[in-house]
Amino acid sequence: MNLFELTRALVDIESTTNREQNVADFLFAQLSMLAGRTSGRLERMEVEPHRDNIFASWGEPVVTFSTHMDTVPPFFPSLEDTEFIWGRGSCDAKGIIAAMMAAVEKLLEAGVTNLGLLFVVGEERNSAGAKVAAVNPRGSRFLINGEPTENQLALGTKGVLRYEIAAHGKLAHSAYPELGHSAIHSLLDVLRAIRMISLPIDPLLGPCTLNIGTIAGGRAPNVVADHAQAEIMFRTVGDAAEIRQAVLAASAGRADAREVLHLPAVRLATFDGLPTTVVAFATDIPTFNGAWGQPFLIGPGSIHLAHTAEERIPKKQLAEAVEIYARMARQLLATGVAQA
């Protein structure tokens, strides 16, 4: 398949988080053909039953390209016009998968080896695939991680701190609220206190931000609620200790605050000749924790379109990404550093 055909084929396979196996099987088949004619090795790296990372290598992998196979819901298939490929995952991150595969094929045709391709599950939820890969390294010294950065090299990414906040109350008829206790009222009080937390600002990464993503609770409008819960997420820019303490203080005696995910903010290296940016989203990079080598973050497409009904990727950026990835690999293999 050519670059655009491969991108569309990947987009057309539904692979929302926890449902990645069909796209993993497709990639295994595609990479089997490439490995078969180029002396490559291919393996499945089990994360859970019927849920695999895919790793392909040529020689002893020094440079590994990696991104994720899963997407956010809802699934919708691909469309194509003269400028864009549209569809769920087109920029986050199936177009990136296609560009990485095309770059490796281009390098192999030129006789370049010591390369790897690592495609993981679960990045959109909890980095489950990266966790498994981190304890199964393959000797790689450099990891080129793909996320939509409009082909600019990211110098840093914000971190993530996610909580589930649950409040408990006492059922009562709403005509006699004094006989019960509203969990919803308690939850709203806690969320108000959390919104009042003073959040830090970093000179490179910018402000720490808070999103209250979901709220649920209660049984009926004429019943005092006995349960309510919310999911909240901070995009952190440094040490999360003070935020943790503030969340616990805001919820003390009124709700249970359970931390469900933490990824630290990350600062990344420059690379000669590439324009740079800073991104607010989190990636698998902190979960890899250096096990696959020094990380770089770059990919085609805009994060502002990822996760939306308008998700699309410019064909021009896809083609440019192939050349960028190939050039990065050549330089890292030749010099062992990001500066020539």
CA 32 to chain centre: 26
| CA 288 – CA 284 distance, rounded (Å) | 6
Phi, psi of 339 (to 5 degrees): -115, 125
Nearest to 67 by CA among 34, 32, 94, 29: 94
Which residue spans within 121-249 are E strands per DSSP? Answer: 142-145, 153-157, 159-168, 172-173, 201-202, 206-207, 209-217, 223-224, 227-236
**Helix, coil or strand: residue 47:** strand
Catalytic residue among 5, 14, 43, 123: 123
CB 318 within 8 A of CB 4: yes
Cα torsion for 22, 28, 29, 31, to the nearest 10°?
140
**Helix, coil or strand: residue 79:** strand
Q: HEC states along 83-110?
A: CEEECCCHHHHHHHHHHHHHHHHHHHHC
Nearest to 332 by CA among 299, 302, 300, 292: 292
Residue 68 token pair = 């994720």
Concerning whether 123 is annotated as a catalytic residue, the answer is yes
Residues forming the active site: 123
